[in-house]
Every structure is written in C-alpha cells, then in structure tokens.
Structure 1
Amino acid sequence: MSKQQQDFKVNVNTEIGRLRKLLIHSPDSGLGKVVPSKAQDWLFEDIVHLDTIRKGEYDYYLKLLMYFLDPEKIKGKLAAIDSEEANRNFYKPGHKEFHNSNSVLEIQQLLIEMLESESIKKKLVSAVCAIEGCTYKLQLQLAEMDPKELAELCISGTMANDTMIFAPIPNLIFTRDVGTTINNFILLNKPAKKARARETLLMRYLFFNHPVFEAYRNNILEIPDVTMHFLRPGDEPSFSTTLEGGDVMMVSPNHVLIGCSERTSEHGANEAIKLLFEQNVVEKVTVVKIPAKRDYMHLDTVFTQVKRNTWVILNSIAHSPKFNADEPINFLKEPEKLEATTAIQFHKDKPGEPKYFEHVEALLDDISRNDLHSTEPTKIIYSGNNTFPYDSREQWTDSCNLLALKEGVVVGYDRNDKTVDAFKAEGFNVVDVKDLIQDLESGKVDANTMTDTLILMPSAELSRARGGFHCMSLPILRDNL
C-alpha cells in the first residue's frame, strides 16, 4: 500500500468541521462549449465565458483551498505560480507541474491515474460508449488512447484535435451532486437528468477502482431502483428513484438531512433512508420537502450551515405559510400543490414513528441545540437580509450556498450585497478573497486562527452556472467538532 493510500481517510460527520480533504473539478474546456440551443438540456441557464471563470474566478477558489488544506504546495510560491506559464500548468491535470495535491483532489487527475490500468480503461470506455451510443470502431479507437487524453475526452467530450464526439458534462464542476460523504461512507447519487449520466458513471468508476479509495470500497453506497421499476411509467417524476448530492447534508455524526426537490424524489429519499439504516450509517434521517422548482433545485441552494448555532437560509423556506381556514385557497388547491416546506424525521430505532417539525427553522434549531450541543441561541441569517426582492434575487445567485472551510469561516459570492449586510450585522468579518490570499501569503493572516469570516469570491460568470461553493465541493474528510 502506498503512503498516499495509508494517509487517505474518508470521514465527514458535520457540515462545519475543519475541512481537510475534498474533491473538486476545475472548469474544463467543455464548459466553454455549451451552446444556447442545448444549454437547458445540459442544465445551464446561460452560456458562460470560460477564460473569465478559470483565471478570474475559480483560480481564487483553488488558491484559497490550497492555503487552508495544503499550504506547503502554495505558500511562498504564489508569485511563481502567478506567472502565466506556471499558472497554466499548476492547474493542468497530468502536467508535471500540476499541483497534484493529496488534499485538494482533482477528479480529472484521479481519472488519469485510474486509467493507467488497461483493464479498467477498456471497461470504462465500453461503458461510456454504451451510454453515448458510439460506434464500435470509435470504441476501439478510444480504448487505445493515452490516459491523459482519454480522461479529458470523457469529461469535455472533445478529442485533442478539438473535434466534439459527444456532449460535454459541464455540471461536473458541481462535485457535491455526484455523492455525499456520510461518516466513513460515501453515498453515490442517482441523477434526475440524463445530462448527468456520464459524470455519475465516471464517479462510480473512480470510487470503486482508484487505489486511494481501496480501503473504503465496501463503504460505497448506491441507491437501488425499487423492485420491478421497469414496469413503471416511463419518465413520470412521481415514479422515479432519484437522489442528488446537493439534497444530502451530513449535519451531525448520527443525523443526515435529505431534501425532496426538483431533483430528488420521494422514492429516492425512501431508498436512501432504508440503505442508511440497514448499514448502520446513521440513527436518524430528516426529509425536508421543498417546492420542486428550478429556482430552489437542491436543499443546499436554500440553506447551509455557518457555525454550530448559525445558518443562512431563504425566509420563505424557513417559514412556510401556515394553513389558514379563513383562506379559500387552502381548500381550492390540493395541499401538495401549495408551496409548503415540511420536515419529517425518521429514527432507525423507532420505525413508523416519524417526528414532524413545524417549519425548517425549528429543525435547524433542534440540530444546533440537541445534535451539536450549542450553548448559544440559534441564529438565522436570511438571504437578501430578508428584504424583498433581494431575498429571492440573491438566493438565485447562491447566497444560501456557502462552503464552510472551518466552523464560522465560509466562502460565498461577492454579488449578494444584502446577504453580506446580514452577515456584518451578526458580527462577521467580511473579506475579499484577493486581499485574503495576499495576507495568507505574507503571513499577516493565519488560516488556523481565523474566526467568523465570510470570504467573498468574484462571481460574474460562475454565478451564471447556477451553483455556489457548497455545490463546487465534495468534502471527503473533516475534523470532528
């Protein structure tokens, strides 16, 4: 067993413990090939400018992660890395000057390493060609490709000569959606949309075949389809068994949240609950049912955790309208058609006895006080400072989708001004990532001692891809609180 394998641990039991390892995917060339006519089929609202995302936005995210998770690879080297050629190679998987961090793990680099095995390469090529409907001649051609070129092709859909042979998978930058680390298990997704089928396949191969995950292969959980699913009506959402990682949150060592949303079905949540209880992964699962609408999409687009006792949330999700017998609409519309959010908690040891929460804010308060044993009152920071219309506008640009690097130190977009005001009102420092990176490099600021800080990232193009930094991260290892 290599030292990398010996040092590799999988364990996440909260949303806010100090982050030590995560999976990311830096924007690849496929992101710059999304065309307007296919954007929505590929789950994009808009086309984005690749160079701006790479050099002017995601670049800062990667540097920040390195300072917090793998400082030896960057501290004292920033000026050299920022020179044009070195900068390009530092972020290029497969290049000899690639950062190759064992803490900030790049999916494309892991794919390259996995494809060094000829047998795995042939199996993966066969699987990709099957779901993409490729010719057999093309399959034979791909099986002969160099691992570096093949990994890039599998992600971007483009050959080295810039010929597109199948669609890109631009959503792979949102690594959270492919799976969730729950204690020392990894729950893989079952995507709702065809556009995510290839990235799901690639991640299955990675988790089951890359040497770093070898010790955890028996801890990889896949959602099964319900019995005789093939007899159910074709594409009807009510019959599908889907689950995406953005709808799964590990909030305490014994407690997982699952959102039923546009992308995660009741059947998917049901199968996940059974699987987690059968494998003794957690003791309780709370299902949060949010409106199945594009502007909400996943659970982590409407709330995320900041500290033990602090959450950021969209107010209309925190407090659903209560049933009012005086309102005719409550009788005219079926209850499930009303835009209500409900939270239902299932206990492994109390089957058939679910617990209902009055609203989501009550659930978050319960987690803070009873699961995480916070001794301070629970604080709620509202998207857009709870002011119309900024609450909805800023939630759309991911004001509620924050990644905690450690408890109280979170990363978000710089464009959500009113939400920033709400953080300031709660006593948080607010820093621009460009200034912070210079201070981390000079030693003026120490990542280990930072507290209660919102780090603002440039967001003009990234925010148009409809996902924040919680979406763009798949934590593999966090410290216990």
Structure 2
Amino acid sequence: MLSDKNFELNVTSEIGALRALLIHSPDSGLGKVVPSKAQDWLFEDIVHLDTMRKNEYDHYVKLLMYFLDPDKIQGRLDEINSRTSERNFFKPDNAGFHASTKVIELQTLLSDILEDASIREKLVASVCAIEGCTYRLQEKLVATSPVELAKIFISGALTDDEMIFAPIPNLIFSRDIGIVINKHILINKPAKKARSRETLLVRYIFFNHPLFAAYRDNILEIPETVQHFLRPGEDTDGKTTLEGGDVMVVSPGHVIIGCSERTSVSGANEAIKLLFENKVVSKVTIVKIPHKRDYMHIDTVFTQVKRNVWVLLGTLGKMEIDVETAEPIAWFGDKKSKDKTEILQFEAGKQSPRTFSCIEDLLNDISRNDLHSTEPTKFIYSGNGVFPYDSREQWTDSCNLLAVREGVVLGYDRNTKTVEAFKKSGFKVIKVADLLQKFEREELDPQTMKDTLVLMPSAELSRARGGFHCMSMPILRDGI
C-alpha cells in the first residue's frame, strides 16, 4: 500500500515548483487501439506502444524523478537505462518499479484500494454495469488479485490475447481526470462515453485511498443539472461536462475554466457554484474557445511558462505579430466571427462579470495583478506566429507545456518553429537525454535551473494528441 505520513495536497499556481503529481504510464491497452475504433476512443491515430514507452514516456518519468524524488534515481541512471529494455519497466508490477510518493502512478493507487474486498466488489459491479458484462464474468473479476484486476480495469484485457471490454487509452492524460485547486480536488465530468470508466476508477481512488483520507471532505463532484434525464439525446449543448484540461489554477484565488469541445457552459456554471460555495477561490474566469477538435481544451491553446511569460496560439489572440520584430502590426480577426474567443470573469459577491477583449489581455492581467509581476508580460507564439507552422505545431501540442518549476518547461522536440520562438525569448533549449546525463553527473542541479525548454522525444506521444500538461495532474506545488 503506497503511503506517506507527510503527504500534502496543495496547488496554487501553474508554475510553482512541482513537488508531487499523478501520472499513468502507457499500458497495454494503447497497443490494442484499432483504426476503426480510434476516434470512438478519442485517439486520432494508432501508436507503437514499445516506442512510446521506452523511447519517449520513460524519459518523462526519469526527468520527473530527478526533479521530484531524486533519491530514487540519482546514481542509478545507467542501471535503469540498461533495464528499460525490459517490458513495462515503469509499471507497478515490475520488480524495479520506483513506488514514488511524489511521481505517483494511478495504477498503483487502484491496486491498493482493490485490496479491500468490499471496495473490490463494489467497483467490479460498477465497471461491469458500465461495460455490460455477464454475471459470471463479474464473479471471476471479484476473485482476481488486486494487481491483476487493476491492469484489467485499465487495459480491458484478461490476458494479452483476451479482451473483455474496451481499453481506456486516455488515462495517460491524467490532467483530465480532475484538478487540485488549493487544497480541494475537483473531479471531472467527461464529455465522451469513452472516458466514463476512467472517471469511475479515479472517483473510487480519491474517496478510498489512504493518501487522500485527510482531504476526503475537500473532494468536489459536479452534479448534473436538475431533471437532466428528461433532455432529448446524449449530445445536446446543455449537457453538463467538464474536463481538467479546461481548468487552470493561475493564483491562489483565481481559476480559469475553458468552455470548449469537451467542457460545456453548464459544466462551467456548476463548477463556479461549487468553487464559490466552498470558498475555494474568489475569482473564476470563463474562456470560451471555438468548439473544434483542433483546440479541444484551453491548455491546447495556451499554458504558462513564468509569471510574466505564456506560450499561446496567436490566431486566437487579438493581434498579428511581425516575426522579425515580435511587435504587433494589426488587429487580428473579425469581432463578429463565430471563432472569436469570449472571456467573462466572475468574482464572488459581485453581480456583473468583467470582460476581456482577448486572451492576451486576460493573461497580461493575471501576470500583473494576480501574480504581481514587475516585468512586461511576454507571449511566445506557436510556430513563431507564422502560418502554417502555428497551426501545425499547435496540433502537435506546442502550447501544451508542463512547468516543473517557474521558467522550466517540458515540450515536444518536433515543434521546431516554436523552439525558435523560445530561443528568441532568451530560453535555453536542451534535449532530455542530455539533461538526464547532466543530472546524473551532478553537472546541473534541477532545483536551480532557470528559463529552459526541455525537448522531449515525440514521434508516438504526439500522435495521441496531448502534451505534458495533459499528461500530468499536479497535486502539490510550491507557492510563488
């Protein structure tokens, strides 16, 4: 059972030094996604699992360990590298698994709670109800060992050759299952049926795992609207949905919620009610972006790098940028366009919302007034602000970056024009393999790094349509 008597849960920004997070390493279910079902399971493509694991995601886990739990990796990199040829090295059922309480694997937490016979019976019954399993299969699952049952729930497979229900490949995008806001957990309400099982599993984890026992009263669940069951159809605009990629904690008192392809206005409204009623924050800003697959969540459009620096898709902003001078040269976009972003900011106790003309104005206000930055706000634009590279690289998550500490962010190596924009803004750029060697030789201290973009290999991960912001659920960050 994973335990930590000093376990703490608190997130007050997007950029404070990361101290603990939830992740899910790619499991065998990703290797069973078929073309005919890929879009139903919310994947754009099929991926090569071994390449994704060994050549890409494993670098991510190693890097997180150096930043968050160095005692478990420092001095062991060569040993770990020699063993990553083993299948599932960073999975809980491997003998060399790190079992970190800082870089926390969701599958471990699921295995832990399944040790309890009562929880196992209830969760098996719930999963079988969702998946339409037979009663005899339900009995068989109840009798399965917790470690194996956790793998089955996630991968959908009894054995390598026998699948009993669909995999949940999107669990690698742990941001979407929920988000920590200060000392509260807001659980998501997914827009697509393909994510129902992962939400169920995570709800059981948060309410039953000992790690979260002290925060059980701080778990917020978004309810459906009254008499929702009377609404016609499943995909009406009024459906109450919210996913973690549309929620950003930008300061202790301020949360941004996106209304997108995956988060509805109803879901955002219910979240505002919960956050204000429970006095979690005093300010919520709603950012409505076009309901397009290109954008999906607001964290595919912008993320924060430093208190005064943001990476952004310029075509959803207000101005066109001259690439040579990085200066605004003209107003961009038609105000009447259906693709125009709308922004409304609500404060507890105030009747009328505040409006912003564009995303840049909102982010500048956050940097200056919420985070008290004394430096001018800077924007690093996807694709260096040049079409078609801005759109191409946004599609491969140039704007979806994870800050492991202020100014140190992880992004994909394939977004070369965006990398150029980072360099022009004064950032160092380093490949993750080189950085890991510097950490191992103690030539560089993760805790003193500044203004660095770490380039992560991305051939397979990028095909899953999510970056490292998507692949992380921070549960503890330092204050800034």
For the aligned pair, the TM-score class normalised by the smaller chain equals: over 0.9
Q: Deviations over 1:256-298 (max 9, x none)?
A: 0000000000000000000100000000000000000000000
1:320 and 1:340 in contact (8 A); partners too: no
CA spacing shift, 1:98–1:318, aligned 2, 3 Å? same
Matched with 1:270 is 269
* 1:209-220 pair list within 5 angstroms: 209-220=208-219
> Residue 365 of structure 1: SS of its match in structure 2?
helix
CA spacing shift, 1:373–1:87, aligned 2, 3 Å? farther
1:53 aligns with 2:49: no
CA displacement at 1:89 relative to structure 2: 6.1
> Residue 37 of structure 2: SS of its match in structure 1?
coil
* 1:250-261 pair list within 5 angstroms: 250-261=249-260
> Residue 238 of structure 1: SS of its match in structure 2?
coil
Matched with 2:412 is 413
1:90 and 1:99 in contact (8 A); partners too: no
Matched with 2:341 is 341
Matched with 2:305 is 306
Aligned partner of 1:297: which letter? M
* 1:278-293 pair list within 5 angstroms: 278-293=277-292
Q: Deviations over 1:383-424 (max 9, x none)?
A: 000001000000000000000000000000000000000000
- What is the distance in 2 between the residues matched to 1:31 and 1:384? 29
CA displacement at 1:49 relative to structure 2: 0.3
CA spacing shift, 1:320–1:138, aligned 2, 3 Å? farther
CA displacement at 1:82 relative to structure 2: 1.4
1:86 and 1:97 in contact (8 A); partners too: no
2:262 and 2:297 in contact (8 A); partners too: yes
- What is the distance in 2 between the residues matched to 1:154 and 1:165? 10
- What is the distance in 1 between the residues matched to 2:346 and 2:160? 53
- What is the distance in 2 between the residues matched to 1:37 and 1:94? 31
1:320 and 1:359 in contact (8 A); partners too: no
- What is the distance in 2 between the residues matched to 1:433 and 1:236? 41
Matched with 2:152 is 153
Gapped regions of structure 1 (runs ≥ 5)? 322-328
- What is the distance in 2 between the residues matched to 1:457 and 1:94? 26
- What is the distance in 1 between the residues matched to 2:459 and 2:268? 34
> Residue 224 of structure 1: SS of its match in structure 2?
coil
Matched with 1:326 is none
1:320 and 1:339 in contact (8 A); partners too: no
Aligned partner of 2:426: which letter? G
1:237 and 1:265 in contact (8 A); partners too: no
* 1:385-464 pair list within 5 angstroms: 385-464=384-463
1:27 and 1:54 in contact (8 A); partners too: yes
CA displacement at 1:316 relative to structure 2: 1.3
- What is the distance in 2 between the residues matched to 1:439 and 1:14? 28
- What is the distance in 2 between the residues matched to 1:135 and 1:3? 32
Matched with 1:324 is none
Aligned partner of 1:341: which letter? T
CA displacement at 1:80 relative to structure 2: 1.1
Q: Deviations over 1:310-329 (max 9, x none)?
A: 000001122289xxxxxxx9
TM-score, normalized by length of structure 2? 0.95
Aligned partner of 2:349: which letter? D
Matched with 1:325 is none
CA spacing shift, 1:67–1:85, aligned 2, 3 Å? closer
- What is the distance in 2 between the residues matched to 1:156 and 1:165? 9
1:68 aligns with 2:67: yes
Gapped regions of structure 2 (runs ≥ 5)? 321-333
Matched with 2:16 is 17
* 1:240-251 pair list within 5 angstroms: 240-251=239-250
Q: Deviations over 1:94-118 (max 9, x none)?
A: 3342110010000001111111111
- What is the distance in 2 between the residues matched to 1:161 and 1:262? 34
CA displacement at 1:151 relative to structure 2: 0.2
CA displacement at 1:239 relative to structure 2: 1.5
> Residue 108 of structure 1: SS of its match in structure 2?
helix
Q: Deviations over 1:205-233 (max 9, x none)?
A: 00001110000010010000111111112
CA displacement at 1:81 relative to structure 2: 1.1
Aligned partner of 2:156: which letter? G
CA displacement at 1:87 relative to structure 2: 5.4
> Residue 434 of structure 2: SS of its match in structure 1?
helix
- What is the distance in 1 between the residues matched to 2:475 and 2:114? 22
- What is the distance in 2 between the residues matched to 1:136 and 1:76? 50
After TM superposition, the structure 1 stretch with the greater mean CA deviation from structure 2, 226-235 or 170-179, is 226-235
- What is the distance in 1 between the residues matched to 2:88 and 2:400? 30
> Residue 356 of structure 1: SS of its match in structure 2?
strand
Aligned partner of 1:396: which letter? W
Matched with 2:183 is 184
2:3 and 2:210 in contact (8 A); partners too: no
- What is the distance in 2 between the residues matched to 1:215 and 1:400? 35
Aligned partner of 2:123: which letter? L
Q: Deviations over 1:137-170 (max 9, x none)?
A: 1001100000011000000000135300000000
> Residue 392 of structure 1: SS of its match in structure 2?
helix
- What is the distance in 2 between the residues matched to 1:320 and 1:228? 43
TM-score, normalized by length of structure 1? 0.95
- What is the distance in 1 between the residues matched to 2:123 and 2:137? 14
> Residue 251 of structure 1: SS of its match in structure 2?
strand
RMSD over aligned Cα atoms: 1.5
Aligned partner of 1:479: which letter? D
Matched with 1:43 is 42
Q: How many residues are matched?
A: 467
1:433 and 1:457 in contact (8 A); partners too: yes
- What is the distance in 1 between the residues matched to 2:130 and 2:122? 13
